[in-house]
Amino acid sequence: SSEVLEAIENVIQGVLQSLAQKKAPVLTVANRADWRNIEFKDSVGLQMIPGCTTKQIRSDCPQSARRFALMLKILSMIYKMVQSNTYATKRDIYYSDTQLFGSQSVVDQIINDISCMLKIPRRSLHVLSTTKGFVAGNLSYTEEDGTKVNCTCSATVFTVPSNVQGIKNLTSHAKFILIVEKDATFQRLLDDDFFNKVSPCIMITGRGIPDLNTRLLVRKLWDSFQIPVFTLMDADPHGVEIMCVYKYGSASMSFEAHHLTVPSVKWLGLLHFDLRRLNICKDALIPFTKQDENKLASILKRPYIACQPLWKKELEIMAASKLKAEIQVLTSLSSDYLSRVYLPNKLQFGGWL
């Protein structure tokens, strides 16, 4: 905490020095979303380069003065929380003064900018993300406040902890981790008691694009147990994008890649190859939208795809077909085909990328 307080004090000292010299104070932040500032490293994923380009948030410029003020406001809130050892979610910060901040996304962006500027992970700033992810299966752990969580004994879904860093005593006999894209598929596998029937496993869903805590938990489980991590996604560009976030990270959070990515993630399904192999009727597939075409074209240009020839081939097949499929398409074969046939066969005989 002393490191965090010192980092904030240094920023404020810079502001005061500028004012003493009758200069307009300026905050310098990295251009987080600029792909020129990001490099791909196979063992880490997308990470920010050391000498990345920056942008200035000036206090004397009409376009940025408000953002400058909001950054100082949130820095002061973080400083007080670290001093008093209290925590708040990004949502709490937004609702402390909705008129001032204007929108939740403004708060989210500023907190990420501050984390990147100070070179301190967000959770060390005492700012927690609101969790939307779920976890179930062969896993037990103790939360920071001493609450014992046992996912193993029941078909109950547990919310991903809001302070993943604080959990301890992780225990599991799982043979693998299965990341499921959507809540509906996750619930279906839970109803079918999948994590007990095939072999013990841990199931996680970020319910779409994963929040920070879900990504942190996947990374923590992989660090703790060193077991295979598989993804089960829709056979569409959106599903591929989500899988890439777990495996390689995102451009906007590349400054935290070392804590968030799991480069060993395997693409279990749903693959276009599976659709052909299982003779899924073309009428059950969905035509691409223009947005799908653009998303897939952008993914194919990313630096990590060149290192994954099998992924590249699968994506090119998807692009050529201009058709996508949801995991639910397997119910056309039988209601429990996913948990009874598809996943057990894949896990036993291979067939992942």
Active site residues: 95
Closest CA to 15 of 73, 78, 72: 72
For residues 260 and 253, the answer to whether their CB atoms sit within 8 Å is: yes
Torsion angle in degrees (nearest 10) through CA of 276, 279, 280, 281: 110
Residue 129: phi and psi, rounded to 5, are: -85, 150
Query: DSSP 3-state assignment of 21?
Result: coil
Q: How far is 115 from 36, CA to CA, in rounded Å?
A: 20
| DSSP string of 80-121, one letter each residue | HHHHHT--EEHHHHHHT-HHHH-SHHHHHHHHHHHHHHHT--
Distance between CA 65 and CA 59 in Å, rounded? Answer: 4
330, HSE (Cβ side, Cα atoms, 13 Å): 22
Q: Residues 6 or more apart from 314 whose CB is under 8 A from it?
A: 267, 271, 272, 273, 353
The CA distance from 158 to 172, in Å, is 15
The answer to whether the beta carbons of residues 262 and 229 sit under 8 Å apart is yes
String of DSSP letters for 118-149: HT--GGGGTEEPPP--EEEES-EEE-TTS-EE
HEC profile of 297-346: HHHHCCHHHHHCHHHHHHHHHHHHHCEEECHHHHHHCCCCHHHHHHHHHH
User: How many alpha carbons lie under 13 Å from residue 322 in its C-beta half-sphere?
Assistant: 7
Distance CA 225, CA 149 (A): 17
